[in-house]
Amino acid sequence: METNLPTAPAIDNDPHPVAIVASRYNAEFTDGLLAGAQKELEALLPAAEIDVFRVPGAFEIPVTVEALCRRDSQRPAAIIALGVIIRGKTAHADLIATGLTESLSRSATSHLIPVIHEVLLVDHERDAAARCGLDSPINRGTEAARAAAEMIRLFRAIRP
């Protein structure tokens, strides 16, 4: 497990619409991801309009991301997908994670909108806690926000 976050990109004061789609399932962990992402976005993109969309579970994240990609007005400059899937004794978690990953990738590439995938698949709650706590040096929500800010900057250079 990586124990350091990537370096934060420079602050971008331009207004950008950013969407966060976060699962309510495993809220004790997902809420930490969401708080980390929001805090970092506010620091890196202070003029951004951040919309948060809560969905019941990880399975509902891809359809919500796709709907946001298809918006006629205010299409997001980036979308962050947040959730936590904890493996059990069946293959259900792996099936959800695989389908979700494929769907998010398809939405990103077909609509050319950066979709940052931070839906974590972990074996144990302790693994989730290590990656989701606000006091954790590797809060993956913070990492997702940094990736979103970097991709917004890159896409602005590609499509001025």
Residues taking part in catalysis: 92
Are β-strands 115-122 and 49-55 bridged in parallel, bridged antiparallel, or unpaired? unpaired
Angstrom distance (rounded) from CA 122 to CA 17: 30
Number of Cβ atoms within 10 Å of the Cβ of 66: 17
Q: Which residue has the tokens 């919500």?
A: 64
Between the alpha carbon of residue 13 and those of residues 50, 52, 79, 90, 96, the distances in Å are 14, 20, 18, 46, 37
